[in-house]
Structure 1
Amino acid sequence: MLRIEGLSCGYGAATVLHELSMQVERGEVVALIGPNGAGKTTTLQCIAGHVPAKRGKTTFADEDLTARAPQERVRMGIAISPEGRKLFGDMTVRENLIVGGYSRPSGATAANLRRVLDLFPRLEERFGSLGRTLSGGEQQMVAIGRALMAEPRLLLIDELSLGLMPKNVDICYQALRKLRGAGIAILLVEQNLTKALEFSDRVYVMDTGRLVWSGTSGEARSRHDLADLILGHASEITA
């Protein structure tokens, strides 16, 4: 589904990612983890087309993404739920969701809204509420739902659990399990290491803009040194 080969990218003259190579298969869940400042968000933004590549190649469903604009990537089937949610605070839940489906035919809007509301029933109760009045958990549901309105084949999610109560984290992961069952590939940046390893099939670990380890989630759970890198102690990864 997604293949990255020797990707370097950054902002202006600064290079943040160095020779990154990774892949995500159709229907697979891949976790991207690492300490703050490792380059995880930049990786997702580069895949989405918001940060320009300096070197390397990215392909999606065997099509070269390198010169594709962000809106073209959305039409191809890549959508992102960004770090910090980034909702339109003065727009309602309904309006925020509809914005996410701008690349799809207008006739698909009702069905896609229904799919999102079935995944997140709480949003139906808040349908007419402004984005700025929502709780953090509700905002995250809208951010994921907005990405789903684009009918993605690959869903990029940046820091799903950041700042959320455990109950809302569980609601979001329950929804993602349903999407996984429907064959949508997911690339997930997650600070909650336990959740990331429970939910994903494979793991990439980043530090200072480079990949330092990759393997299955089962292998990651047995590597206490990975937790040392990410969290400063080993207790979060259990054998």
Structure 2
Amino acid sequence: MITIALYNLKGGVGKTTSAVNLAYLASEAKRSTVLWDWDPQGAASWYLGVDELNKKAIKLMSRGMPVGKLEVASPFPNLTVVPADLSLRKADMALAGVDQARKLIQKMVSPLSESTSILVFDCPPTISPSIEFVLSSVDLVLVPLIPSPLSLRAMTQVSEFFESRKRAPKRIYGFFNMVDSRRKLHQQTLEGAKYFPVPVMNTVIPMDSAAELMAQKRAPLTSYARRGRAAIAYRAMWKEIGQILTS
């Protein structure tokens, strides 16, 4: 089972939309895919048409209940969702530290490996024991970045945090999202990507009005705007992810 986490300390960078679209592309390739929504706002669950929230998500998680019992079917073949709810804001208290979080999450995820090909985590923009363990245990952490000086700062903060910890992500890559190639600042930031503290993916996700319709359509843009610029870029990104994971 391949595990991927979408994460950034900064909100509003397209983290959830990217998680949803990548999970959809995995399922479209006939890979059994689970999107685990860790963000208390539950936006990823909403985008995928899931109304059935785990209203006691953190209570169930604190018992180490297998993820399979929390999954909800989405309208898309091969794609299920572990929905979030506001109780996840209490994850730190319920899981009581990194060691406890590690044991419980391992217990929850272990049974998935028999039936799931891809597990995608949509992580909230915060650092907590549970999120720290998720990020340090997945095969790949993807950090979406809007082209601006704050992107470098956010990427540096994430990199420095994990450098100070015993457990660091196996692979961590940044990628530029919501890029407007007409803007000089965006051009300059992309050109300076070689100075970032971690590798940056070659694929760039452009600004696309189709992304604004995701909340209205409650579907990945890669499903309804297949020929759009962002959809084409996400497909290229999914191929690049495959290359990263096999390198």
Under a length normalisation based on structure 2, what TM-score does the superposition of the two structures give? Answer: 0.32
Larger proportion of strand: 1
Normalized per residue, the structure richer in helix is: 2
